Amino acid sequence: MADAKVYGILSAKGGVGKTTITANLVSILACEFKKKVLAVDANIEVPNLHLYLDMLGLPSSLQNVIKDEVSIAHSTYIHKSGLSVVPGSFLEEGVDVTRLKNIIGLVKGLYEIILLDSHPH
C-alpha cells in the first residue's frame, strides 16, 4: 500500500467544530467509501475525539506514544465502524512537531488516509 495522505483539521480558535468535522469525515471515509483510515487526536488542550466516536475508557493515548511509554500500535484502537483511532489526552508540555511527524511516519504505510484533529493554533 502506498503511504497515506495525511490531513490536519486546523483552526486558530477552539469551539469551531474541528473535532466534529474530524469525527464525521473519518466515519464517512471508513463506512461509505471503505477507506483504511486512521484518526489521530492531536488536540492536547481538549482531546475529545474519542468521546465523539463513543470510545470510552481507552488505556493509552497519543501522549503516551509521544512520551515513549508505549508504541503507536498499542495506542491504536479499532472503532466499530472499522476505522482506527489514536485517542488523545492532555499534555502540558506541548507537542514536538518533529516527534509527531516521526510517529505518523511509522504508520503511513498502513493506511490510505490519516486525519489529525488539532488543537487551536
pLDDT per residue as tens digits for the range 38-94: 999 999 888 999 999 999 999 999 999 999 999 999 999 999 999 999 999 887 777
CATH label of the domain that carries residue 31: 3.40.50.300
**Residue 1, pLDDT score:** 74
Task: State the DSSP string of 58-115.
Answer: -S--HHHHHTTSS-TGGG-EE-TTS-EEE-----TT---HHHHHHHHHHHGGG-SEEE
Q: Which own/partner contact pairs does 12-17 have at CB distance under 8 Å and 24+ positions apart?
A: 12/120, 12/121, 13/120, 14/45, 14/46, 14/119, 14/120
Share of the chain above pLDDT 90, in %: 78
C-alpha span between 87 and 48 (Å, rounded)? 8
Provide the 3-class DSSP secondary structure of residue 24: helix
What percent of the chain is helix, strand and coil (3-state, nearest 5)? 35, 20, 50
In contact, 45 and 11? CB cutoff 8 Å: no
Q: What is the pTM of this model?
A: 0.93
pLDDT at 35: 97
- The answer, yes or no, to whether residue 95 has pLDDT greater than 80, is no
Number of structural domains the chain divides into? 1
Q: Where residue 114 falls among pLDDT bands split at 50, 70, 90? A: very high
pLDDT value at residue 110: 97
- 37-42 vs 84-86, strand pairing mode: parallel
Q: Give the pLDDT of residue 20.
A: 96
